[in-house]
Chain A
């Protein structure tokens, strides 16, 4: 399958000298999208974004334009940018906030103008110290340039932007937990309904929460038109997208490629992309969209990298369903990987990051982690596989993807995805651990 070579959109300035400075941004035509946006009616910008059909790049993949359209008609309206990127093996927003903060700031101003927000908060993962410095500097520069603050670029639109630091909690990537955290509280996801902060968000006011990558696309979409974006990709998955590739590949990194036009095989093996598996080894498993995604195997290599394509593929879970592109992170495991260890490590992640509100998550992730650990350490029992599947079935009933909710947010059921995937795909590995009382991979 020939690769398409769509020009990158959000990463086109990455790696250029001083890409994070206003001077270089302006030299590259920066803030022209905002200038154009301010001559348009806010509703026309939303219409362009609806035409682009850009799906949210944070993980859930909801149409950004549709989200904006749902905003409750009340004042004030807030814009919150989700830069709390913490999904294991996702590192695209980390790159964007460090290397192209003005693109983000311009996108923030465009979005705020479209939805009628007078104040925006850029929530950046606390660990991203350099990113916070770069975005803060960009905000300072943008105010001085007149691209933020009162009467932006000579228009009558005014906007204040605050860079807000996270403090270390995966759960704050969940948008209602992020809002709680922004209110100065523990990052506890809010009970649904209401499902969308567009109705009830920050301080109870209508709030749009958008991901860093999503918003970073807005200057290009406004400048080039939603149709130009929609012309890239295929079907529901339009435009380009950044894929964070890591694990056992020769060339790990962030790759912005046209959606759907490439497969997992392209991403992993193409010499200009992943460059193949280290040491020429065989592929064992793929984590397709972050730690919360059901795993894929070599049989899925030709699945195109599109939202519906990955979602509609025949997956490995006993209850059916495919997987998800999620946060756009793809982890490659080669044949030397112990699947028990890998799945255990992800289970431990969910256990550690559980906020503790819901019993299936708080207790269930702990059970799963303990049983997985004892299998990996050679102390597994004959009944452990059955036990694991049973516990997972209680957290994510039916062991399908997607799953019915037993918890306020998606964190709890996520633990079942890697664990049940690993059991389904590598049952013999589990049995060997239990029978031999040791990990065969050493």
Chain B
């Protein structure tokens, strides 16, 4: 529960190898760290920083920008209830209220047993099946209040373990192919770096 374990460190290095510049692998590496621990520990972020060659502050500063990356512990099941426009029109707000009372936590809270973290989310693109709920980014809808209770019972009892992996596991299909086409990638001599002009870009971070 700290740094990336050896297997994941190896995967992290492989991820960096997929991109022309290693920092591009930051997001997939953070997803990997979150898959390992369920959330992003300071140690894991520092390890990712070390592998890429940037500071832990740069990693934290980037991670904290993104809604799916958690720098504090979350429950085994991240229950995301949508209340944006299509869900608003079809009972999403009422469903969220029901979820809060059913789980005994407000949106943003985690149940004492660590099973559920409830969150209210912006549109998750399941609008023809509104109101929609995602659990660890596996989608359900339309969800009635009764349906929500059943869903939670099933999750608690482990009946949906095949469909809903623990929080942090996003993509269970691994890339099985390398880069046989031989394009310039991380690790090649600097001369292979694109000579692009300096960015006029604002921001950065």
Map CB proximity to A onto B163-205 as digits: 1 under 8 Å, 0 otherwise: 0000000111111110111111000000001111111111111
Contact between B196 and A204, CB atoms less than 8 A apart: yes
- In the bound complex, do residue B125 and residue A91 qualify as a contact, i.e. CB atoms below 8 Å apart? yes
Does A216 count as interface, using CB distance less than 8 angstroms? no
Chain B residues lying within 8 Å of A187, measured Cβ to Cβ, are 65-66
Near A by CB (< 8 A), chain B positions 6-30 give 18-21, 23-28, 30
**CB closest residue in chain A, given B127:** A246
Considering the complex, give the chain B residue whose CB is closest to the CB of A143: B177
Tell me which residues from 363 to 415 in chain A have a Cβ below 8 Å from any Cβ of chain B.
408
Is the C-beta of A53 less than 8 angstroms from some C-beta in chain B? no
Point out the residues of chain B lying under 8 angstroms from A288, CB to CB.
none
B130 touches A168 (CB 8 A): no
The answer to whether the Cβ of A137 comes within 8 Å of any Cβ in the partner chain is yes
Q: Which of A140-165 contact B (CB under 8 A)?
A: 140, 143-144, 148-150, 158-160, 162-165
Q: Which of A71-97 contact B (CB under 8 A)?
A: 74-76, 85-91, 93-94
Partner-binding segment picked from A58-66, A174-182, A217-225: A174-182
User: Cβ of B204: which chain A residues have Cβ within 8 Å of it?
Assistant: 180, 185-186, 188
Contact, CB under 8 Å: B27 / A149: no
Which single residue of chain A is at the shortest CB-CB distance from B61? A186
> What residues on B are CB-neighbors of A331 within 8 Å?
85-86, 89, 127
- Return the CB mask of A208-252 against B: 1 if under 8 Å, else 0: 000000000000000000000000000000000000111110001
Interface residues of chain B: helix, strand, loop or mixed (majority)? loop
Q: Which residues of B contact A253 (CB under 8 A)?
A: 128
The answer to whether B27 touches A252 (Cβ under 8 A) is no
A166 within 8 A of B: yes
Within 8 A of A (CB), among B109-150: 122-130, 134, 136-139
Q: How far is the CA of A162 from the CA of B25 in the complex (A)?
A: 11
Contact of A118 among B25, B63, B139, B181 (CB under 8 A): B181
Contact A91 B170 (CB under 8 A): no
Judge if B67 is at the interface, Cβ distance under 8 Å: yes
CB <8 Å contact, A190 and B123 = no
Q: Which of A148, A163, A245, A247 has the most chain B CB within a 10 Å cutoff?
A: A247
A200 in contact with B125 (CB, 8 Å):
no
Q: How far is the CB of B7 from chain A (nearest CB, A)?
A: 19
Separation of A205 and B199 alpha carbons in the complex (Å): 10
A247→B196 contact, CB < 8 A: no
For the complex, what is the distance from the CA of A8 to the CA of B24, rounded to whole Å? 37
Interface size class of A (residues with CB under 8 A): 35 or more
Whether A291 touches B137, Cβ cut-off 8 Å, given contacts A94-B125, A140-B175, A168-B67, is: no
Nearest residue (CB) in B for A158 is B181
Chain B residues closer than 8 Å to A87, beta-carbon distance: 123
Report chain B residues within 8 Å CB of A426. none
Q: Tell me the minimal C-beta distance from B52 to chain A in angstroms.
A: 7
A49 within 8 A of B: no
Distance between A268 CB and nearest chain B CB, rounded to angstroms: 14
Bound CA span A164–B31, Å: 11
Query: Is B62 in contact with chain A by the CB < 8 A criterion?
Result: yes
Check B173 against A136 for contact (C-beta < 8 Å): yes
The yes or no answer to B68 lying at the interface (CB within 8 A) is: yes
Inter-chain CA distance A287–B89, complex, in Å, is 12
A128-B68 CB under 8 A given contacts A247-B86, A287-B85: no
Residues from chain B with a CB closer than 8 A to the CB of A15 are none
Give the shortest distance, in Å, between B137 (CB) and chain A (any CB). 4
Contacts of B184 in A (CB 8 A): 76
The complex places the Cα of A149 from the Cα of B21 at a distance, in Å, of: 19
Q: Is B83 an interface residue (CB 8 A)?
A: yes
- For B137, the chain A residues whose CB sits under 8 A away are 126-129
Known: A143-B177, A246-B130. A132 touches B170 (CB 8 A): yes
**B84 interface residue (CB < 8 Å to A):** yes
A167 to chain B, nearest CB (A): 4
What B residues does A69 contact at CB under 8 A? none
B124 and A127 form a contact (CB under 8 A): yes
Q: Is the CB of A357 within 8 A of B203?
A: yes
Q: Which of B30, B84, B136, B181 contacts A159 (CB 8 A)?
A: B181
| A435 CA to B177 CA, complexed, in Å | 65
A-B contact pairs, 6 of them (CB 8 A): A118-B181, A167-B31, A187-B65, A190-B199, A345-B84, A408-B202
A residues with CB within 8 A of B? 74-76, 85-91, 93-94, 118-119, 125-130, 132-134, 136-137, 139-140, 143-144, 148-150, 158-160, 162-170, 176, 180-191, 193-194, 200, 203-205, 244-248, 252-254, 287, 291, 329, 331, 333, 337, 341-342, 345-346, 349, 352-353, 355, 357, 408
Q: Give B residues with C-beta under 8 Å from A.
A: 18-21, 23-28, 30-31, 52, 61-63, 65-69, 83-86, 88-90, 122-130, 134, 136-139, 170-177, 179-184, 193-205
Beyond A181-B27, A346-B84, 13 additional pairs, beta carbon < 8 A: A76-B20, A88-B86, A94-B125, A129-B171, A148-B177, A149-B177, A185-B203, A187-B66, A188-B201, A205-B196, A246-B85, A246-B89, A331-B127
Q: Which 8 A-B pairs have the closest CB atoms?
A: A204-B196, A188-B203, A168-B67, A184-B26, A168-B68, A167-B66, A184-B23, A158-B181
